[in-house]
A and B are shown apart, each in its own frame.
Chain A
Amino acid sequence: MLFFSFFKTLTNQTVTIELKNDIRIRGILKSVDQYLNIKLDDIEVLELAKYPHLSSVKNMFIRGSVVRYVMLPRSEVDVGLLEDATRREAANQAGKAR
């Protein structure tokens, strides 16, 4: 749940998402769910010339499995806290495995 927890803090931030088919979309992250499906608003497709069919799309729902990267605003990430969260996650996993 670490990633879910993490992305929840990024709602209403502008993120850029690169899909596995190379399309890059920048938009406001509206919501994310446990499958890391993503809802974007006010989207803007980078290199729109390549993907004219997306020129009129204003918002979208992206299935989590097709996302390659999510580029985040750095200022919105609390690295120390994220490190701690990662440690906890690892501890949880280790606890479960046992």
Chain B
Amino acid sequence: MSFFGFETKLPRDRDGSGSKGFFETSDPFADIARAHALEDDDVIDFEDTYDGLGDQLPDDQDEFNDDTFGAGGADTSVGRDFDFFGKTAQVSDVIGEEQVRYSLQNPNSARVAPQPAAPAVQPAASKTKRSGYEKYSDPGYIPDLQAKSSVWGVSQKKPEPVAAAPAASTASRKMMSLEEVEAQMRQQGHNTSTPAAEAFMRSMVDSQYPQPQHLQTLPDGFPPVPPEFLHAQIKQGHLPPGMPHPPPGMPELYGGPGPMPPGVPLHMMQNANLPPQSMPPAGPRHVGPPQAQRPQQPQLPHLPQQQQVPLPNRTSANGIPVITNPQQLRDLTEEQRNAYLVEDAKRAKRNHKIFLLSRGNGLMTPQDKNFITRIQLQQLVAAAGNVADSDPEAVLAEDFYYQVYSQIRGAPRQHPPPTPGPLRPDLSVSDGQQARADNHMQRMQQQVQRAVEAAKAKPKNKQLIIEGSLGKISFSNAKAPKPMLNIKRPDSSEGPKPKKQSDLSLSDRKSILTNLEGVYSSLMAMEDMERTMPPPPEEGDAEAIQVHMEWRQKLHSLNQKLWRSLKVMEPIVPNSTTPHPFIAFLSYPKGKKAIPRIFRHIDQEQRVTILTMIVVHLDSLDVVRLAQPVPGEAQPSLGVREAIDLFSLAVMPCLLGYVNEAPFNIIIGLLGLVINQTHVQTVARTKVGLGILTMLLSRAEIVKEAGQASEHDWQQWVQKFNILFDTLELGLNDIFPGTISSGDDMYVWQFLAAVGIGASPEQQQRLVIAVKDRVMETVSYSKTLPADMGSQRLSNVNLFMRAIGLDVELLG
């Protein structure tokens, strides 16, 4: 045994079944496999394994053994002259005794139970987990002579050589396998492998009752005791070898009405079987003089024996007999033994698990735990804001992009929102662990929620003014540093700014961009309003109707705000150099992009106003004005082309959507506006201009086909159409973009088709003549192109040809 309880043996001396180091744990699982392997021949016969070395020992020179090893008989003493430590310890020991006696007299602390003569020097002690200090608290301690043998390399754990003497005499007895020993230990140790403190409490309680308590708590991982000791002690009727020594510092409470008078400290009893010389001098008030104990000493072994007697008829709950003795195990049937071993393995596994878990017990103070909890709370709060899930507004404010993006793209949410509200008892009953984990999680989240709410609700006191003091104390943190200057912001409503703004032109860049942002913020506010739309009120539910009305009111005021910031209703200044604010608004990409969103939130009247505005200013629209073909250049610059594409993608569908539902008189009015207010030939040379004209013409055609047009309206339309046709006829060749090879001219053919359908036969004739050259060119050009591109071009032309009752096929 080493001083610190470390493993002192060399690896080669270890036999696996021996005691483990202080920090090692036994592996109970390893035994399961072995248990199965040994089922058939679980008895290792000593005769089979003993190599007979013991017979070769020369016995004739044993006389000096005592001199060498000092073992001698029970009454041989080596004296204690060298024991300086022991002498010193006696003094402190007396003090300790006094304390014990005091505690005994004091009823509150009279918990130190009577102690039998614990087998302190039993060989098993050298194998137990101990600090190694115990013995040094014993003034009479002489280093255990048997323990020394390990220093010589004679392992006490090696079964064969050491066990030879006792085992040989009972050769028929089987050797206990490791698992049997363990099994026995477990039986006795019950299975409360709780930490030492609990074991102590347990034994304290037990000791108060008269019945002897042998089922001492056995800390798991307790090193198994080698079989030879087991045998020896069972034969002697001694304490079971599996008997653990309680952890250091704990009184050994083997219970039972021992022969010792109560109140005798442990060390005294340990001393009892030492020679008289080594007895500590008894204090004058000593309760039990050591001499009185000596005659009783021989009785000691018998007492535990009674308790140790195995009760064969005892059975555990599951019908498997309680095994306290390996003998029993052997008597069992194969089946029972298997069941027992399985049972044992299970228990061992569980105990091992508990032991592993219990190792960390008491490692963290409550403060540490609080600290960790705070960190975890922080993480939870930070993670995806799932705490605030109940408050969609807060989530949107903090996490707008992610939330909306997830909705649009259907991205899986990382943290599914917990179902708020009370715990779900139905679940927790039905599927145990899962639900329990859920509940924990929920409870945690609720706690976090409360914590966050509390933190939010806490008034943010930025300053502390102590009464009577001259100054203030301002608090600061990293997020809100201490304000050095305290300047009052003027309320924006009072400021002179708005007036100044109105002095400036409404179409300068800055104010246009300001308007744009105003539009966007109104849009966002309206979109938020839509999200919070109350459910449609039911009949008679006055409150719901009230809520709904308020909501509509708000929406309407937002709509008005949006409308104002669009500046559509600004007066039109004829021949002004600066474009109309709304047209300027449309000249920015984000203005164009805003149109679809705006159209969702405005009514038909507002839509027609916007459409009218665009049509009136068609030739000052950037996508028309800048898109005029420049001589020498095949197509407009890249920026303009992008603007045109964006306009076609964003604005045109909205306009088209409205026009397709617009009444005929509005279409007529719009066409009139195009003819009167704009330079038609210029407009017709651009994609957007042609697009709008196509839109109007095709809508008129649809109305006519459907027979919805009154005669009067139709007359008006034809009149306007004739004017348009006459205006356009001269420049029909100019409406094609660039040369024939420059690509996309489909929108032109669409326009021509729309014109052709509405035209009279005479007008169709003129139309064909005007574009005949382009048609022929395109047909011949398409033959030089790859098949798919060629057919594409031809089908474009065919759009027009079909409209006037012809086909490219006819051209040959």
Which residues on A are within 8 Å of B, measured CB to CB? Answer: 1-2, 4-6, 8-9, 11, 33-34, 78, 80-85, 87-89, 91-92, 98
Contacts and interface: CB of A to CB of B under 8 A. Distances in A.
A8 B524 contact: no
A34 B401 contact: no
Interface in B374-402: 382, 384, 396-402
A64 to B, nearest CB: 13
B400 A8 contact: no
Contact of B593 (A5, A80, A82): A80
A72 to B, nearest CB: 13
A88 B403 CA distance: 13
Interface stretch (B2-10, B164-172, B404-412): B404-412
B411 A9 contact: yes
B590 A8 contact: no
B414 to A, nearest CB: 7
A42 to B, nearest CB: 19
Nearest to B403: A5
Contact of A78 (B384, B408, B593): B408
A98 B414 contact: no
22 contacts: A1-B398, A2-B401, A5-B399, A5-B401, A6-B401, A8-B384, A8-B402, A8-B414, A9-B401, A9-B402, A9-B409, A9-B411, A11-B414, A34-B382, A78-B405, A78-B409, A81-B404, A82-B401, A84-B524, A85-B400, A87-B521, A88-B397
A6 B402 contact: yes
Select the residue from B384, B401, B402, B403 with max chain A CB neighbours within 10 A.
B401
Interface string B520-542: 11001000000000000000000
A81 B411 CA distance: 15
A80 B521 CA distance: 13
B517 interface: yes
Contacts of A81: 401, 404-405, 408
A98 B414 CA distance: 34
B405 A88 contact: no
B489 interface: yes
A contact face: mostly helix, strand, loop, or mixed: helix
Contacts of B398: 1, 5
A77 to B, nearest CB: 9
A84 B414 contact: no
Nearest to B383: A33
Contacts of A88: 396-397, 400, 524
A54 to B, nearest CB: 28
Interface in B406-451: 406, 408-409, 411, 414
Contact of B400 (A5, A33, A34, A80): A5
A76 B414 CA distance: 17
Select the residue from B398, B405, B489, B590 with max chain A CB neighbours within 10 A.
B405
B408 A87 contact: no
Nearest to A31: B414
Interface of B: 382, 384, 396-406, 408-409, 411, 414, 489, 517, 520-521, 524, 590, 593
Contact of A1 (B399, B414, B524, B593): B399
A85 B520 CA distance: 11
B562 to A, nearest CB: 15
Nearest to B593: A80
A94 B282 CA distance: 86
For the complex of A and B, the 5 pairs showing the least CB-CB separation, nearest first, are A85-B401, A5-B402, A5-B401, A9-B405, A85-B400
A5 B400 CA distance: 7
A11 to B, nearest CB: 7
Given A5-B399, A85-B400, 7 more contacts: A2-B401, A5-B403, A6-B402, A9-B411, A78-B409, A88-B396, A88-B524
Nearest to A3: B401
B402 A87 contact: no
A2 to B, nearest CB: 7
A38 to B, nearest CB: 15
A65 to B, nearest CB: 16
A4 B399 CA distance: 8
Contacts of B406: 9
Select the residue from A6, A11, A84, A92 with max chain B CB neighbours within 10 A.
A84
Select the residue from A4, A33, A34, A83 with max chain B CB neighbours within 10 A.
A4
Nearest to B396: A88
Given A83-B590, A84-B520, A33 B382 contact: yes
A83 to B, nearest CB: 7
A5 B399 CA distance: 5
Contacts of B396: 88
A3 to B, nearest CB: 9
A1 B381 CA distance: 13
Contacts of A78: 405, 408-409
B253 to A, nearest CB: 53
Contacts of A84: 400, 404, 520, 524
Contacts of A85: 400-401, 404
A82 B405 CA distance: 9
B61 to A, nearest CB: 67
A98 B404 CA distance: 27
B786 to A, nearest CB: 29
A7 B397 CA distance: 16
Contact of A87 (B384, B399, B409, B517): B517
Contacts of B382: 33-34
B141 to A, nearest CB: 57
Contacts of A89: 400
Contacts of B524: 84, 87-88
Nearest to A76: B409
Contacts of A2: 400-401
Contacts of B401: 2, 5-6, 9, 81-82, 85
A9 B404 CA distance: 10
Nearest to A80: B593
Contacts of B414: 8, 11
A2 B74 CA distance: 86
Contact of B521 (A4, A11, A91): A91
B648 to A, nearest CB: 17
Contacts of A33: 382
Nearest to A97: B489
A9 B384 CA distance: 11
A34 to B, nearest CB: 5
A83 B399 CA distance: 14
Contacts of A8: 384, 399, 402, 414
Contacts of B520: 83-84, 87
A5 B384 CA distance: 8
